[in-house]
Amino acid sequence: MAASGPRLGRSVELTIDSLGARGDGIARLGAATVFVPFTVPGERVRALIEAKRGDGYAAVVEEWIARDAARPAPACPAFGACGGCAWQHLPAPVYAAVKRDLLIAALHRQKLRPGDAFAVEATRISPAAARRRVRFAGLRSRAGVRLGLHPRAGHDVLDLAQCPVAAPGIAALLDPCRRVAATLDALQPGRKPAAFQVAVTLADGGADVTWTLPQTPGLADRERLARFAAEQDLARVSWRARAADEDRPGAAEPVTQRRPPVIAFGPASVELPPDAFLQATREGEAAIRDAVLAAVAAAPRGPAADLFAGCGTLALPLAAERAVHAVDGDAAAIAALDAAARRTQRIRLTTERRDLALRPLTAGELGRFVAAVFDPPRAGAMAQARELARSKVATVVAVSCDPASLARDLRLLVDGGYAIERVVPIDQFLWSPRVEAVAVLRRR
């Protein structure tokens, strides 16, 4: 227990046993758990106990007693300070195993044990410089503009000159964005710095840049943003107001569109709404799509549902094979998907805007589908998974960006009579502790 654990400010010798869900090394000190960042399992360190953290303690390395000789040099000069990456120091085999292990640990917590019944396969890892969607944080103070990512702790902004996980076309926009931010009236700093965000998505038609600003941009700002779009040859620049709740941002309004920011999903080309959801890397999207298509191809003939379908990453390739009903709560995403489907021949797709947390498709409504794919946000799809568990759908495919909510939803499905066939870990957020997955289930 923490109460009888180590004293704050003390140096202790620790052996790192494993890596935790937030990326830190985990060591035991008596009954206490100690979290030590930037360590590798098996390393022995002298560490300073700095603070309590949950039921355990946070410590920092003072000295390596036994350091892993296979540690690679970090790819980024900001590694250690930047909150974006926690694992650039892991030797390749450790890195390859760790995300799969996090997924397995989450499954174990729900008493779902890979083994004879199903396998958790090797992680499909996206390469460096592959992220095609990044949201940078910015601050303009009287001292100047900082643009980059949040540091490991706190809400400050770490000014980044480069970002090795981002596609070169995104990293190259850091400096131009900083320059235009310094000129915007909407970012005039008062006594406090003006906080903003810049979200960049690389579409097939060029970069789509959405600014989140504390004030409505006036005509002069709109002209500055339009000039910036022309100078950088961007597809579109939009702006949106800063929302009180960052998880519920308001709609973005285009300032200038020079080309439609389109993206191809299977046979169709979708014009993305500003700051639309897009799988973070092409490689990750391909790994998810391949696993979903293979799972649904093995289902009996008949229609499929794609729940939390977004702009159609999965629904459109599926709709080239069989009739698909795509559902999402986001009006702009559903409108973009619907428009793409209407423009495309030889696909069978219907769409529906619906809040699947408040009003999941019921077991009765699911009765007409032989397969259902669901790809919810981080919180998972508890209400929808309950209905799927009561349904007769032959094949269910869960796509998830959060192992804990995925395992909880899978537990509901297994209790409802589904058997897990395979789980594929997907790594789109290189060097971060995030892991995504596709799980295929068949009704027993």
Residues recognised as catalytic: 401
Q: Is 314 in the site for ligand SAM (CB under 6 A)?
A: yes
Q: Is 329 in the site for ligand SAM (CB under 6 A)?
A: yes
Q: Is 310 in the site for ligand SAM (CB under 6 A)?
A: yes
CA distance 159 to 143: 13
Q: How far is the CB of 329 from ligand SAM (least distance, A)?
A: 3
The residues with which 136 forms a beta bridge, in sequence order, are 198
**Closer residue to ligand SAM in complex, CB, 164/310:** 310
Binding mask 225-264 for ligand SAM (x = CB under 6 A): ----------------------------------------
Q: Is 308 in the site for ligand SAM (CB under 6 A)?
A: yes
- Paired sense of beta strands 236-241 and 253-257, if any: antiparallel
Binding mask 207-226 for ligand SAM (x = CB under 6 A): --------------------
- Size of the chain in residues: 444
**Closer residue to ligand SAM in complex, CB, 106/139:** 106
Number of neighbouring beta carbons within 10 Å of residue 96: 14
**Closer residue to ligand SAM in complex, CB, 309/347:** 309
Q: Which residues contact 223 (CB under 8 A, 6 or more apart)?
A: none
Q: Which residue is nearest to ligand SAM (CB)?
A: 310
Q: How far is the CB of 8 from ligand SAM (least distance, A)?
A: 40
Q: How far is the CB of 110 from ligand SAM (least distance, A)?
A: 21
Q: Tokens for 108?
A: 């174990």
Q: Which of residues 14-53 bind ligand SAM (CB under 6 A)?
A: none
Q: Is 375 in the site for ligand SAM (CB under 6 A)?
A: yes
Residue 148 has φ and ψ, to the nearest 5°, of 175, -125
| Selected binder of ligand SAM within 357, 363, 370, 394 (CB under 6 A) | 357
Give the residue from 218, 217, 225, 275 showing the smallest Cα distance to 246. Answer: 275
Estimate the share of the chain in helix, then strand, then coil, as percent rounded to the nearest 5.
25, 30, 45
Q: How far is the CB of 376 from ligand SAM (least distance, A)?
A: 6
User: Is-contact 165 428, C-beta < 8 A?
Assistant: no
Q: Is 356 in the site for ligand SAM (CB under 6 A)?
A: yes
Q: How many residues bind to ligand SAM according to rule CB under 6 A?
A: 18
Q: Which amino acid is at 313?
A: T
Which range of residues in 146-154, 326-334, 364-372, 412-420 is near ligand SAM by CB under 6 A? 326-334
Q: How far is the CB of 401 from ligand SAM (least distance, A)?
A: 6
The residues with which 217 forms a beta bridge, in sequence order, are none
Cα angle 185, 188, 190 (rounded to 5 degrees) comes to 155
The residues with which 198 forms a beta bridge, in sequence order, are 136, 211
Q: How far is the CB of 358 from ligand SAM (least distance, A)?
A: 7
Number of neighbouring beta carbons within 10 Å of residue 53: 15
**Closer residue to ligand SAM in complex, CB, 308/429:** 308
Binding mask 260-299 for ligand SAM (x = CB under 6 A): -----------------x-x--------------------
Q: Tokens for 105?
A: 């640990």
User: Is-contact 120 103, C-beta < 8 A?
Assistant: yes
| Selected binder of ligand SAM within 376, 380, 403, 425 (CB under 6 A) | 376
Which sign, positive or negative, has the C-alpha torsion 382, 384, 388, 393?
negative
User: Is-contact 280 133, C-beta < 8 A?
Assistant: yes
Q: Tokens for 434?
A: 């995030």
Binding mask 384-423 for ligand SAM (x = CB under 6 A): -----------------x----------------------
Which range of residues in 19-27, 87-95, 227-235, 302-310 is near ligand SAM by CB under 6 A? 302-310
CA distance 200 to 375: 22
CA distance 167 to 60: 32
Q: Is 328 in the site for ligand SAM (CB under 6 A)?
A: yes
User: What does DSSP assign to residue 26?
Assistant: E
* Residues making contact with ligand SAM (CB under 6 A): 277, 279, 308-310, 313-314, 328-330, 333, 355-357, 375-377, 401
